[in-house]
Amino acid sequence: MKFTIQINTGPYTHQASDTAYQFTRAALEAGHEIYRIFFYHDGVNNGTSYSVPPQDDRNLQQLWSDLAEQHSLDMIVCVAAAQRRGIMDEGESAKHGKGSPNIAPGFQISGLGQLIEGGVQSDRLLVFGD
């Protein structure tokens, strides 16, 4: 089965990000395909390289980046939601005259069209969070 995953909540405000990560990992281990992971609303906070959780806490951003690298995942951060929350890649940072980019490895910034395409191309679109 082919899945697109939408994540709407940040990594430390709700269980949805953890649940989405665990589901994605389990689906991949079971042989399913993840077409795309789309981070929307506060979910874009999963993609900032500036989060520094305490040493005894999980680093969800790093877990997502590692999973993306291991499985060549397409992880998209919504451009409008990211801009509102100060998350930018190199292009967006230069475009808006900001300092260095702060998007984490494995994440890309793009628009809602990527979510729509993922829903069309997949067997299931799963939404985690409000």
Give the separation between CA 122 and CA 31, rounded to whole angstroms. 15
pTM of the model: 0.95
Q: Provide, rounded to the nearest whole percent, the portion of the chain with pLDDT above 70.
A: 100
Q: Which domain holds residue 94?
A: 2-128
Catalytic residue among 37, 78, 109, 115: 78
Question: Is residue 117 annotated as part of the catalytic site, yes or no?
Answer: no
- Strand ordering across the sheet containing 107-110: 107-110, 75-78, 33-39, 2-7, 124-128
Give the separation between CA 84 and CA 29, rounded to whole angstroms. 35
For position 114, which CATH number holds? 3.40.1260.10
Residues 79-109 pLDDT 10s: 999 999 999 999 888 888 888 899 999 999 9
**DSSP code for 45:** G
| Residues 106/65, Cβ–Cβ less than 8 Å | yes
Number of structural domains in the chain: 1
